[in-house]
């Protein structure tokens, strides 16, 4: 794979314990083909935005140098309505990975402990950016580990998966205003074990009315799992009906309030292809930038704009190029110049985009967001 994707994968695998240093961030503004963007200079090696809400608040991860340990530390950060701050790690855990954020500045993520910990090595958490308060999401009955993957715009519904003995199930967490607690509901599936959800993801629309993800359709004789794309809708409060949309296995990364979806599937040669999925389950492979052979769609807004990246053949000298697809599914590159690489990982309803771009000055990669 190219250097940027390798770096992102590397950072996600590093766990650190200890005090987080104060965040130092400056902003460098750059022109690009659609207007102006802000590069967030808060790392000499790698910084990225992983999610953005409709107010333009962002969350991400950045590397800092730990001179004492002689390694790079990957730490999560928040920049938004409640200031600029590094996100702390909840008590009893050793690492936190942020995933998504609501318009109410509620952040979801997963926290980890060393393998073998009595309370489980992985747990879903909710962090309030206003007061730095953490809540650990409840486990489904009999399960030991869970992970949130998406949150509604109002911050009251979270989707993800929960695991227990020989099972991995899609779940919905609902915020209860009366008790000020989270409840957990296991969504119906054909089988209890749905391992594809770990990478395929269970997404919820901003209005909280659509839930989608790829779950097990059959266990094949060779031991592999065949998954299909399913959709859940709420027929009455607390009751969710399921229907199969497509036999395609989708790496789902976004669903809008119309039920349109964006993500990627494996092509015939094993390379990921960005795709759009209609509310009826019709798949459309999205065009790549000239000369590229693979890519991913990473998000979609209510105007049907899709964001992601387009990539060169393996072993090439290039890298992933940040791009977006307009409503007519035409592909457009977003970059200050033809030589810049990166990826767009988030889009809000105003059309602002965010992700990471290669920094020509330092040789690293920096988080960015476009200016309204």
| 157 belongs to a structural domain | yes
In this prediction, residue 69 has a pLDDT band, given cuts at 50, 70 and 90, of low
8-state DSSP, 193 = B
Mean pLDDT score, 19-27: 62
Which position has the higher pLDDT, 23 or 151?
151
Q: Convert the pLDDT of each residue in 139-159 to its tens digit.
A: 999 999 999 999 999 999 999
For residue 20, pLDDT beyond 80: no
> Contact at 8 Å (CB) between 2 and 311?
yes
What is the C-alpha to C-alpha distance for residues 176 and 173, in angstroms, rounded to an integer?
10
Which position has the higher pLDDT, 87 or 120?
87
In this prediction, residue 73 has a pLDDT band, given cuts at 50, 70 and 90, of confident
| 38 belongs to a structural domain | no
pLDDT of residue 317: 60
If one counts the domains in the chain, the total is: 1
Mean pLDDT score, 254-264: 98
DSSP one-letter string for 266-304: E-TTS-EEEEEE-TT--EEEPPPPTT--EEEEEEE-TT-
Q: What is the mean pLDDT of the chain?
A: 89
Checking phi first, is residue 121 left (phi over 0); if not, alpha (psi -120 to 50) or beta? alpha
> Contact at 8 Å (CB) between 95 and 89?
yes
For residue 214, pLDDT beyond 80: yes
| 58 belongs to a structural domain | no
Q: Convert the pLDDT of each residue in 36-61 to its tens digit.
A: 999 999 998 999 999 999 999 999 99
DSSP one-letter string for 305-364: -EEEEEEPPTT-S---EEEEE-TT--EEE--SSTT--EEEEEE-TT--EEEEEE-TTTSS
Q: Would you give the end-to-end CA distance of the chain in angstroms?
A: 33
Q: Convert the pLDDT of each residue in 318-341 to its tens digit.
A: 689 999 999 999 999 997 776 678
pLDDT of residue 70: 64
pTM of the full predicted structure?
Answer: 0.91
The backbone torsions φ and ψ at residue 132, rounded to the nearest 5 degrees and listed phi first, read: 65, 20
What is the C-alpha to C-alpha distance for residues 34 and 334, in angstroms, rounded to an integer?
7
| 271 belongs to a structural domain | yes
Give the chain's radius of gyration (CA, Å): 20
User: What's the half-sphere exposure (Cβ side, CA atoms, 13 Å) at 312?
Assistant: 15
> Contact at 8 Å (CB) between 79 and 25?
yes
pLDDT of residue 1: 35
pLDDT of residue 209: 96
> Contact at 8 Å (CB) between 187 and 161?
no
> Contact at 8 Å (CB) between 53 and 80?
yes
| 272 belongs to a structural domain | yes
| 227 belongs to a structural domain | yes
Give 283's contacts (C-beta < 8 A, 6+ positions apart): 246, 248, 265, 275, 276, 277
Strands 225-236 and 239-246: antiparallel
For residue 314, pLDDT beyond 90: no
Domain of 184?
3-24+65-301
Task: Assign residue 252 the CATH number of its domain.
Answer: 2.120.10
| 46 belongs to a structural domain | no
pLDDT of residue 243: 96
Q: Convert the pLDDT of each residue in 170-188 to its tens digit.
A: 999 999 999 999 999 999 9
pLDDT of residue 21: 45
| 314 belongs to a structural domain | no
pLDDT of residue 338: 63
Task: Give me 68's structure tokens.
Answer: 């004492």
What percentage of the chain carries pLDDT values higher than 90? 74
pLDDT of residue 14: 25
User: Between the CA of residue 203 and those of 76, 199, 233, what are the distances in Å?
Assistant: 22, 12, 12
């Amino acid at each position: 794979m190219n250097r940027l994707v390798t770096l992102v994968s590397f950072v996600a695998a590093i766990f650190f314990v200890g005090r987080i240093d104060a965040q130092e961030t400056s902003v460098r503004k750059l022109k690009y083909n659609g207007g102006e963007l802000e590069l967030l200079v808060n790392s000499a090696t790698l910084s990225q935005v992983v999610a953005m809400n409709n107010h333009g608040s962002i969350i991400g991860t950045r590397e800092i140098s730990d001179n004492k340990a002689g390694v790079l530390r990957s730490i999560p950060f928040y920049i938004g309505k409640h200031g600029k701050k590094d996100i702390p790690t909840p008590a009893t855990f050793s690492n936190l990975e942020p995933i998504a954020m609501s318009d109410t500045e509620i952040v979801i993520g997963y926290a980890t402990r060393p393998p073998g910990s009595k309370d489980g090595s992985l747990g879903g958490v909710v962090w309030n950016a206003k007061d730095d308060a953490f809540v650990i999401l409840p486990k489904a009955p009999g399960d030991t580990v869970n992970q949130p993957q998406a949150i509604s715009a109002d911050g009251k519904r979270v989707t993800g998966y929960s695991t227990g003995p020989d099972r991995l199930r899609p779940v919905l967490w609902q915020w209860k205003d009366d008790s000020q607690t989270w409840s957990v509901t296991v969504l119906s599936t054909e089988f209890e074990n749905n391992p594809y959800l770990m990478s395929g993801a269970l997404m919820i629309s901003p209005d909280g009315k659509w839930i989608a993800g790829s779950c097990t359709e059959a266990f094949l004789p060779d031991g592999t799992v065949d998954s299909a794309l399913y959709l859940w809708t709420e027929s009455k409060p607390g009751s969710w009906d399921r229907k199969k949309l497509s036999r395609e296995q989708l790496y789902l990364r976004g669903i809008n309030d119309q039920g349109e979806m964006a993500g990627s599937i494996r092509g015939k040669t094993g390379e990921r292809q960005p795709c759009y999925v209609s509310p009826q389950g019709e798949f459309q492979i999205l065009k790549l930038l000239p000369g590229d052979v693979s890519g991913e769609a990473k998000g979609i807004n209510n105007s049907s704009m899709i964001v992601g990246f387009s990539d060169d053949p393996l072993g090439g000298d290039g890298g992933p190029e940040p791009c977006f697809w307009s409503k007519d599914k035409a592909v457009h590159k977003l970059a200050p110049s033809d030589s810049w690489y990166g990826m767009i990982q988030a889009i809000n309803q105003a059309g602002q985009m965010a992700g990471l771009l290669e920094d020509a000055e330092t040789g690293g990669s920096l988080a960015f967001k476009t200016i309204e």
